[in-house]
Structure formats: C-alpha cells, structure tokens
Amino acid sequence: MIAIVDYGAGNLRSAQKAFERNGVEALVTDDPETIRQAAGVVLPGVGAFRDCYDGIASRGLTDVVRETIHTDKPFLGICVGLQLLFTESEEGGLHPGFNIIKGSVRRFSASEERKVPHMGWNQIEILRRDCPLFEGVESGDFVYFVHSYYVIPSEEDVIAAVTDYGVKFCSAVWRRNLFGVQFHPEKSQHLGLRILANFARIVRNATHSSA
C-alpha cells in the first residue's frame, strides 16, 4: 500500500485516483502509524509552502516524513511536496522546510512573455536517464504544471530533469529512494499515469528486496 500524506489541503484524492487507475492501492491518511507501515509514501502539494508545512506539523507528521526518507523507503514529493523537502522557501517571507535537500525555493519573475503562475503543459528535459521514475518517458515529453515557485538545489547531482520557463529550472529530483517532481503527474494524463506506475513499481521492487 502507498500512503498519501493528508495534511488538510484540498485535492489530495486526485493523486489517489491516479494510482487506482493503475491498479495500485493508495490511501490518503494523516495517521503516523499507517504512514510508517506503508510500502511507499507520497507527499502531494496544494497551497502555500508555509500552510502545507504547518499542516504537516500540526498533525504530528513531521517525524514520520523524515523517518520515511531516512529509512530508504520510496518517497515521492509532488509540487509543493517537492518544495517542502528543501532548506527554505521565500514564499510569503522566508520559511524553513525539511532541509532534506539543501537549497532554496524562489519565485518566478513575471514578464510579458512569462506569466506567473506557470500554468499548463510544458516539456521536461531528462538529465538522469537512469532515474527509474522516468522509464518509458522521453526528453521533450509534456507534463502539467501549476506553480509560482521553483526549487534551486545546492547540489546539481540531485537534479533529474529541468524545464524551460524563461529560466531553466529543476523540475524533478532524485536521490536513492527520494523522488520529487514540480509538475503534477495526476494531471498529466497518460504520461503522468506512467510516472506514477513507475513509482509503484519502485515501491514493489523495494518491498521485495527487503523481504
């Protein structure tokens, strides 16, 4: 079972439904023990950085999120769920994140050609072809974005994919069991379903290797 962390934001069930379309059991939960027992964990992101972090903290889920990552259980952060893994975000002031990946979260600069938020379909350029999350996905494929902020990792080797929106920004990270995407796979139609199916396969493989 894959646990989808419920911290009180809306629209969390769209990720659950996308997994279910792949025939994968996924449960939206704010119960720490259920999350600990899950084979894989997804941290979706809807809303402002600080609100999401505070929602996690107020439900007593901060420790279990850290434990999941540090015990090498497969973990996927989506949109703000990716951003929360970083050291800090400038959204609404300077606010700390989990500091699991060193780096910051910055706002796009708006221009005549570049509206903020970045909303709609855009291409990814895959830098880490060995990333198992992107099996069957090609550079140039389109995924769906809705965000005004983007991550800037301090260490470039965690960057799995980038996207061009006036600035070339990190749109996916990968480090061992830890995956994160700035786009929304649950809104990215067949390609997004493929990415979520890949994560489910990663979870199954990790479960079998530890059995």
Would the pLDDT of 134 be above 80?
Answer: yes
Q: Which of 79, 91, 147, 170 is catalytic?
A: 79
* The CATH classification of domain 2-210, taken from the options 3.40.30.10, 3.40.140.10, 3.40.50.880, 2.60.40.420: 3.40.50.880
Would the pLDDT of 139 be above 90?
Answer: yes
Euclidean distance between the first and the last CA atom of the chain, given in angstroms as a whole number: 15
Q: Which of 52, 147, 170, 184 is catalytic?
A: 184
Domain locations along the chain: 2-210
- Following DSSP, what letter does each residue of 77-121 receive, concatenated? EETHHHHTTEEEE-TTS-EE---SEEEEEEEPPP-SS--SSEEEE
Residue-wise pLDDT for 24-73, tens only, equals: 999 999 999 999 999 999 999 878 999 999 999 999 999 999 999 999 89
Average pLDDT for residues 105-120, to the nearest whole number? 92
Residue 179: its H or E element = strand 178-181
Residue-wise pLDDT for 49-60, tens only, equals: 999 999 999 999
Q: Is 184 a catalytic residue?
A: yes
- Tell which residue, 103, 157, 167, has the closest CA to residue 128: 157
Residue 182's Cα: distance from chain center in Å? 6
Q: What is the mean pLDDT of the chain?
A: 94
* Dist CA 79 CA 96 (whole Å): 16
Look at 208 and 91; give whichever has higher pLDDT: 91
- Tell which residue, 53, 2, 5, 8, has the closest CA to residue 29: 5
Residue-wise pLDDT for 67-93, tens only, equals: 999 998 999 999 999 999 999 999 999
Would the pLDDT of 211 be above 60?
Answer: no
* Dist CA 69 CA 176 (whole Å): 10
